[in-house]
Structure 1
Amino acid sequence: MDIRSYLTFNGNCREAMSFYQQCLGGELYFQTVGDSPFAEKLPPRMKDCIMHSTLTKDSVVLMASDMVGEHALIRGNSVSMMLSCNSEDEIRACYEKLSKGGKQTHVLEYTFWGALFGDLRDKYGNQWLLHYQVSK
């Protein structure tokens, strides 16, 4: 069993997921509404919206869509994405890239539990927790 993050956007899923790919690397897949079995059931203006997207790099899987429910998109702080990095160089590079245009809410620092840790809100309003366990 595992858990994966699934993000919802309001028309800018392709832009956001491409940004995350630039920051994290990996393989990126998109399926638009127009290329789906639902194309004829949805308004023509939605044909370029992303029905489903997946960014995969090693064990990291981030999924997203432009498919907003009837109550519209409401951003909150109850969900964060936890990115466990494999090296200090990796965590520093990811932190710098993901925070561009966003807000560094907790700069990277060494913690009492032996990790390098920080958090941020990216330019799309999503919360990220970055962690690298220095001592084991």
Structure 2
Amino acid sequence: MSQIITYLTFNGNCREAMEFYQECLGGELKLQTLEDTPRADVFPDQLKGFVVQAALEKDGMLLMGTDMVDRELVRGNSISILLGASSEEQLQEYYQKLKKGSVSAHPLGKTHWGNLFGSLVDKYGNEWLFHYHIK
């Protein structure tokens, strides 16, 4: 099965962000740090807690992340995470939880095309789009 997965890169706070997303969305979170790798001894102690790979899975959703970046990390506005829900209530719940600490928001509301839509930039600088198709 082919799929597109959202993969986020952080500057040392991947664990914190992924645990926040787990609190907001639920699901199972798996983390691997540099300390968990076979070559952990070659890394400085201050880097051993950095996340090599994180995966948050729930109901067919997969959100991944890492602290491993080999260039300057620049947050831009060209990538968003689109979060669809199976009910209006579920979408409201996701929005309210992810809204905590967000820096900007477009409140959830009905659109002219007949759906529930909203957006926000969370406290980690990632843009989330929320969508529910009203039947």
What is the number of equivalent residue pairs in this alignment?
Answer: 134
Unaligned runs of 5+ in 1: none
What TM-score does the superposition give when structure 2 sets the normalisation length?
A: 0.94
The residue aligned with 2:26 is 25
Identity %: 51
The residue aligned with 1:95 is 95
C-alpha deviation, 1:75, in angstroms: 0.5
C-alpha deviation, 1:6, in angstroms: 0.4
The residue aligned with 2:65 is 64
Pairing of 1:1-136 with structure 2 (within 5 A): 1-69=2-70, 71-135=71-135
Unaligned runs of 5+ in 2: none
Q: Over aligned residues, Cα RMSD in angstroms?
A: 1.1
Partners of 1:100 and 1:50 in 2: CA distance: 23
Which deviations, in whole Å up to 9, do the C-alpha atoms of 1:43-94 show, x marking residues without a partner? 332111111000000110000011121x221111110000011111111111
C-alpha deviation, 1:39, in angstroms: 1.8
C-alpha deviation, 1:103, in angstroms: 2.9
SS at match of 1:78: coil
SS at match of 2:132: strand
Partners of 1:87 and 1:103 in 2: CA distance: 26
